[in-house]
Each structure stands twice: as structure tokens, then as C-alpha cells.
Amino acid sequence: MRLARVRVSGGIRTAVVTDEAVLVLGPDAPTIDDLVRLGLEAALHLVEVLSPTAEAVDRAEVEWLAPLTRFNRDILCTGWNYSDHFFESLGKGGGQGPAELPEHPTFFTKGPGVVIGPHDPIAFDPALSSAWDYEAEIALVIGSPGRSLTAATAESHVFGYFVANDVSQRDLQRRHGGQWLKGKSIDGTMPIGPWITTSDEVDVAALSVSLTLSGVTLQNAPATAMAFPVGVLLEELSLGMTLQPGDVLLTGTPSGIGSAREPAVYLAAGDELVTRVHGLGELRNTVALTDLTSTTTNGTDAR
């Protein structure tokens, strides 16, 4: 099942996406965040109960929004999870990375204020950074709690999968002691969506990731190229650390990032990014000039 958060004439609703239409559930239907916290089996049953009264709407008539807006903690992320990406980055990270492929996954986090919708503009401020980069990724959201999971069963704790673009500021990554949080947490820079595909309908091994920048393909790889598959990532991440429903994990980006190219390819205002995961959908975002250095008391909300 593909679950979307959409804006229609009646407001923001939860919807089921089919090949033919968008089935918009009633105004009292739970949000996707609510459904995730019910767990997969209960959520699927509830949506099936609500679907007969849903309104069928053409895809062109809805505005696609970020499917998730309520986060328990920072977004969990994986670094160097495609071997080619690790090797393309050797010597180009300002001393941030190891000299050899890690034996265990590399994890970091980014603030939830980064999240935007699948068609929203990506905030861009050259006064903040001169090295804006892209990273196409497969992401997942946890649907049932677990600690010290095993690789063989960990994927049963996944509610669903979606597409993400981990837009990063490489110079900010290096500026603060080589820690990645700052260069990964700029407001309004990470599109997600376009919907959540529930895990019962996803074969991760059959997925592939790609990214085009203004029509030029710069990333393209199968999920089978991951150094650590999803089960192993969850096993390592959950060791002694409870994963909760609503926790989001990005699983890493393949080779082709801009900072590893010769010469480097960084984002600029007006660029169009199309981030695809075959089997999960696509994001289509334009890089837009935004004042990110002025003082404000309002956070950036997921749209």
C-alpha cells in the first residue's frame, strides 16, 4: 500500500495512491504518523476499513506533501554504505573519513527541520555554504519497537520505505571538527516522499537509486550494491538502542556525488533535482535562493 499526505480542496488529508487515482480518506482519518505508530498490521486493517468511503481524485489535482511530519528524534542516517561511494570520496573529505572501508556501518544524525515535501523548493543560501551537494537515498520508517535486533528479523520492524535526498553542505561538514551534524541539518533542504510504500509490498533487493541534475544522470545504482543491507543496518543500529515507531533511517547514497567529481559539481539556484528509487517513486525539486542567515524565531516546518 502507498500512503500519501496530500493537500486537496478539503484540506490536508491522508490518501492511498493507486495506479489509477489517489483515494483521499475522510477528514477524521489518522495521519501517516499516526498509522506508523499503530504498527503495520493494524494500520493496513484500519485503512482498508476507511477506504470504501474515500474520494477518488486525479493525481494532477493534489499537492504532494512530506508524508511524515512528527519525529521522535533526529533523523538517523548511514554514511559510506555503497562501496563505490566510499572509494570515490577517499582523500576528498578533508580528513573526515577512514583510510579503509569500515567493517561496521557509519551512523550519524540530522535535525528534523530539514524535511520538505517531494516537490518543494530546496532552500539554498550561498552565504551559508559554497559546497551544496546531493545524495539520493532509500529511506525507511520504523513501525514496531525493538532493541538488539538480529539481521534476519530486523526488517519485520520496518513500517515502510520512501525516497530521500540528503542534501549536504560539505564545507560545513568539515568546519566543526569533522562532525557531520551541522553540514547535514540546514533547514528546508531534505525532500522526502512522495509517499510511504508499506514494507509488505517492498523487496529492497529489487530497488535501484538514481538522481538527475538538470537532466543529467549523476547517480544510478541498485540497492544490492549496499555494503550493509537493511537488516544489518538495523541490527547494528539497534544494538543496545531501542528503535521506536516513527524513527526514520536513511540507508546511504551511491557513488556520483558532486564533491567527489573532477571538477566538483555543486548545486546552484535554479537547478532541478529528480531523485528516483525504482519501485518507490520520485522527488522533483528545484534549488531556490533562500535567506538562511537572518535571525528568525520560527522553525521550518515540514510541508
List, for residues 247-296, the tens digit of each pLDDT value.
Answer: 999 999 999 999 999 999 999 999 999 999 999 999 999 999 999 998 87
Which pLDDT band holds residue 85 (cuts at 50, 70, 90)?
low
User: How far apart, in whole angstroms, are the C-alpha atoms of residue 13 and residue 274?
Assistant: 25
> ∠219-222-223 over CA atoms, to 5°?
110
pLDDT for 95:
53
Residue 160 has pLDDT above 60, yes or no: yes
96 confidence band (pLDDT: 50, 70, 90): low
Mode of pairing for the β-strands spanning 208-213 and 22-24 = unpaired
pLDDT beyond 80 at 199: yes
* pLDDT band, very low/low/confident/very high, at 297 (cuts 50, 70, 90): low
Evaluate if residue 301 carries a pLDDT over 60: no
Kindly state the average pLDDT of the residues 138-153. Answer: 98
Lowest mean pLDDT segment, chosen from 111-115, 123-127, 193-197, 295-299: 295-299
Q: What is the 3-state secondary structure (H, E, C) of the chain?
A: CEEEEEEECCEEEEEEECCCCEEECCCCCCCHHHHHHHCHHHHHHHHHHHHHHCEEECHHHCEEECCCCCCCCCEEEEECCEHHHHHHHCCCCCCCCCCCCCCCCEEEEECHHHEECCCCCEEECCCCCCCEECCEEEEEEECCCECCCCCCCHHHHEEEEEEEECCEEHHHHHHCCCCCCHHHCCCCCEEEEEEEEEHHHCCHHHCEEEEEECCEEEEEEEHHHECCCHHHHHHHHHCCCCECCCCEEECCCCCCCHHHCCCCCCCCCCCEEEEEEECCEEEEEEEEECCCCCCCCCCCCCC
Cell of 225: 550494491
Identify the residue with better confidence: 110 or 88. Answer: 110
- Segment 166-193 shows an average pLDDT of 93
Alpha carbons 179 and 96: distance in angstroms, whole number: 8
Chain position carrying cell 520505505: 161
Look at the chain and count its residues.
Answer: 303
The rounded percent of the chain whose pLDDT value lies above 70 is 93
For the cut 80, the answer to whether the pLDDT of residue 298 exceeds it is no
Tell me whether strands 158-165 and 122-124 are parallel, antiparallel or unpaired: unpaired
Model confidence at 88, in pLDDT bands (50, 70, 90)? confident
pLDDT for 99 beyond 80: no
